[in-house]
A and B are shown apart, each in its own frame.
Chain A
Amino acid sequence: MARYAREVAVVAFAQSDHLRRTDELSEVEMVMPVLHQVLAATGLKAGEIGFTCSGSSDYLAGRAFSFTMTLDGVGAWPPISESHVEMDGAWALYEAWVKIQTGEADTALVYSYGKSSPGSVRDVLTRQLDPYYVAPLWPDSVALAALQAQALIDAGETDEPALAAIGARSRAAAETNPHAQLSGSVPQGDYQVRPLRTGDCPPIGDGVAAVILAAGDLARQLCERPAWITGIDHRIEAHSLGLRDLTDSPSTRIAAEHAGVFEAPVDTAELHAPFSSQEVVLRKALGLGDGVSVNPSGGALAANPVMAAGLIRIGEAAARIHRGESDRAVAHATSGPCLQQNLVAVLEGDRA
């Protein structure tokens, strides 16, 4: 606990059902029920929240400044302290955590959402790539992940059956997750971009997640067993894929070191690995042994609302601590192509 100035915990987590399409809902209509749910879990009113931070990307739905519209679902009157990141909500959570560490807030509402259904997310994500050397080639997210998967296969770190097993395990785990988009036995399918098959790739869908953070004794009042964030850090690597060793994730490892992951065993890991091959990289970077429950929620292979899937990993890890199913969990979020940016958090529950 001495790592940071203040004790901060995830005290509540809520998420939508993750669906292939939500045509009938605008973004605020999609977000609002989840905000109400997470607030209800703590009994806090919107006006009692010290800081609000969201994560999203307008490119997904082709809708400019959509995050300002979703603020309508928060209830931003009287005026609130608010911010937004054009990233996964896990980074919004990091900003909120910093806000609490500085003493400027005692509670924070963090939410994120992705509405991928209006566009073609594989093509949309090409617009986040280097505009000089890479974006003009339109390499889609599956293609870039497939290059990483082939590098892993060439390095002898995995093979296609092992990758298929990761997808199958994830979707089997998701059978106990009522919010998951894909669960149970799902065919591995054809190659999307070889060596990755449909079953190695995440489903495309729309979804929302929200988390409430609170500091110190307030967290204890709001939650029977708070999920204390005892470490959190995020790192970024060179953008160019040709500069990186795609079989490794040094940014994840460094973030994990700074977050204290390796100081004690973890029992749960919620990894944001949208592609089966990326779980191989993350397990190695985090040094996860077979005794760790990896993605008991099903992970991003079961539901991958872009911009929310990383925050969901923190939320799922926290929820396991709230339920007493975990004592020390690691949560991971990623952003950018082939695990370019990685955030790692350690969540711990008080021991009886």
Chain B
Amino acid sequence: MTAASPPQVLRAPLVVEFPFTRSLGPVQSAFLTGLREGVVLGVRTADRKVMVPPVEYDPVTAEEIRELVEVAATGTVTTWAWNDRPRPHQPLDTPFAWVLVKLDGADTALLHVLDAPGPEAVHTGMRVRVRWAAERTGAITDIACFEPYEGPAGGEAAPHDGDFAGAVTGIVAQARLDYVYSPGRAQTAYINALSEQKTVGERCPSCQKVYVPPRGACPTCGVATTDQVEVGPAGTVTTYCIVNIKARNLDIEVPYVYAHIALDGAGLALHGRIGGIPYDQVRMGLRVEPVWTEGGRYPDHYRPTGEPDADYDAYKELI
């Protein structure tokens, strides 16, 4: 047993990407399809207010709203904020203003961006118009941005049936977030030890259980696990299953055995694949040892040691 080593924190890039496919209801479908066609639609509420962008339910009364109207592509800035340093994914890559714009004919404001030469060129109350994107798909980004405008104002909102050929019924909400992940002290120690082909756990000072892999806390006692303990290398199969379905991108022939393995000295089992033995001969109590491949950062699989099987009583608490 040795005292936990001081932190040598591992760090690695972590990218989270998700393309959510979202369906649109009738109102959002009409609005986004309209943008694709160069038309801005809103909805009219029971008290004759025109909401752009449109909502499906009245925010005050919660009544369903379905009365579509067309508004102008010109409007007035109701508030703004100058962004000197555009961030990734934002609509313009040159300095721009965030704006809320009340389009002519609308009673509520739309959030978008304004292409202007500088903050001195922007003020609340200024007149702007939509600059359409060259390629439009039925998304809020079909409005490339707003731009200053000095022509005549648009008129009242006009009724619109919202019918377009090839209506957009869904969007794919793409997102990518970049992180730098650090696993913390306990897991850093575990990963570093694995690179030396050793498995280390941490002992709970209260219940004495040895956690593998360690996460820094004993979930039973709620206290920090501080003492590092090397466990294994051999262990005992406590339970297992036979996998018959090949996972995509997995270069392992089925059927194979996935098992819980209680490494000698560990207080709970970890899991791994069993190799070096026909799948139908794997059994509870089988003694196994890890097999590292050249340059591997963790055991590729576990194989039988050839020792006699462990007695059930020796591992039954770890199942």
Contacts and interface: CB of A to CB of B under 8 A. Distances in A.
Interface stretch (A122-130, A166-174, A214-222, A285-293): A122-130
Contact of B177 (A62, A134, A241): A62
A176 interface: no
A144 B141 CA distance: 18
A147 interface: yes
Interface in B7-50: 7, 9, 11, 14, 16, 20, 22, 24, 28, 32
Nearest to B145: A137
A1 B187 CA distance: 48
20 contacts: A24-B184, A25-B185, A71-B219, A73-B217, A73-B222, A75-B221, A75-B222, A76-B220, A123-B89, A127-B177, A132-B24, A132-B32, A132-B171, A133-B140, A140-B87, A147-B98, A147-B111, A191-B82, A241-B111, A242-B102
Interface in B41-64: 51-53, 55, 59
B193 interface: no
A243 B51 contact: yes
A223 interface: no
A314 interface: no
Given A127-B175, A136-B141, A242-B109, A75 B220 contact: yes
A343 interface: no
B167 to A, nearest CB: 15
Contacts of A139: 90, 98, 111
Contact of B216 (A28, A118, A150): A28
A131 B181 CA distance: 26
Contact of B111 (A62, A118, A137): A137
Given A23-B11, A136-B141, A143 B81 contact: yes
A194 B178 contact: no
Contacts of A72: 215-219, 222
Given A194-B83, A240-B108, A241-B100, 20 more contacts: A26-B184, A26-B185, A29-B185, A29-B186, A76-B220, A76-B222, A77-B220, A119-B179, A131-B20, A133-B140, A135-B175, A140-B87, A148-B79, A154-B79, A193-B82, A193-B83, A194-B82, A196-B81, A240-B53, A242-B111
Most buried by B among A27, A72, A74, A135: A72
B186 A26 contact: yes
Interface string A144-186: 1011111100100000000000000000000000000000000
B14 A46 contact: no
Interface in B193-233: 215-224
Report the contact-size class of chain B (Cβ under 8 Å from the partner). 35 or more
Interface of A: 23-29, 32, 35-36, 46, 59, 61-63, 69, 71-77, 118-120, 122-124, 127, 131-140, 143-144, 146-151, 154, 191, 193-196, 238, 240-243, 246
B287 to A, nearest CB: 29
Given A72-B222, A241-B100, A136 B140 contact: yes
Interface of B: 7, 9, 11, 14, 16, 20, 22, 24, 28, 32, 51-53, 55, 59, 78-84, 87-91, 98, 100, 102, 108-113, 119, 124, 139-141, 171, 173, 175, 177-187, 215-224
Contacts of A150: 79-81, 124
A199 B179 CA distance: 25
Nearest to B124: A154
A149 B7 CA distance: 43
A119 B177 CA distance: 8
B177 A124 contact: yes
Contacts of B183: 26
Nearest to A76: B219
A46 B222 contact: yes
Contacts of B111: 133-134, 137, 139, 147, 240-242
Contacts of A46: 222
A278 to B, nearest CB: 14
Contacts of A27: 184
A196 B84 CA distance: 12
Contacts of B89: 123, 138
A200 to B, nearest CB: 12
A140 B89 CA distance: 11
B24 A193 contact: no
Contacts of A32: 216-217, 222-224
A26 B219 contact: no
A240 B11 CA distance: 38
Contact of A147 (B88, B100, B108, B219): B100
A118 B7 contact: no
Contacts of B11: 23
Contact of A143 (B7, B83, B187, B222): B83
| Ranked 3 nearest A-B pairs via Cβ | A75-B222, A26-B184, A146-B81
A242 B100 contact: yes
Given A74-B222, A132-B28, A194-B84, A26 B216 contact: yes
Given A73-B217, A137-B111, A147-B98, A23 B9 contact: yes
